[in-house]
Amino acid sequence: MALFDHFKLTGKVALVTGGRTGIGVSLARALAEAGAQIVIAARDIDGCRAAAAEIVASGGKAIAVPLDVTDRGQIEALVREVGAQLGPIDILVNNAGVCYHRAAIDVPDEEWHSVFDVNVHGLWYCSQIIGRTMVERRSGVIVNIGSMSAAIVNRPQFQPAYNASKAAVHHLTRSLAAEWAPYNIRVNAIAPVYIATAMSPVDDPKFHRYWIEDTPMLRPGRPEEQIGRAHV
């Protein structure tokens, strides 16, 4: 087998949650270029359709499905819908996430729960529901989008809920990787730094000193630079 044949995903079905922008859409495009059929899922169905249409226009295969990852019923319905249209999900990219910048003493309960509902519970629901189908088939790949915030405390902004949620993501990844390896399922995570997306205001002057000047290349990361790190 030639080197690049190892990277071919022809016939595979890949679900990318939160795949309409940023890192998610970059990974969706890359998976499509490798031959996978893409399912872009998020609450913003119009954004999902636009992202899927862009992939199709470039010669790839993609569909858009509305999804709130905090709702088990919606995930189960998505699995049935995708199965009927494309076949079972071979690759799951858990990319949906939220973050709020707020000092710990000012974090309201609803904001704390919102972060964990999406970043941890939503990732867990998707992994468990889709993981069951992968265990049955003894095949699958799950890529979780974690963060450097799982291991550091960011400055100058404060984001205790996000940091704690991403630490949970990384250790859950280790747990699933160990448990599901015997079923030929690989579970990995990547830990992006500050990436130029709508979620990270990298151009805000108050963050420049810490986010940019402390970075060796003096610039934020780009969404497309995460592609190689998320090899499936």
Active-site entry in 100, 162, 183, 194: 162
Cα 200 off chain centre by: 15
Q: Is 162 a catalytic residue?
A: yes
Q: Which residues are catalytic?
A: 162
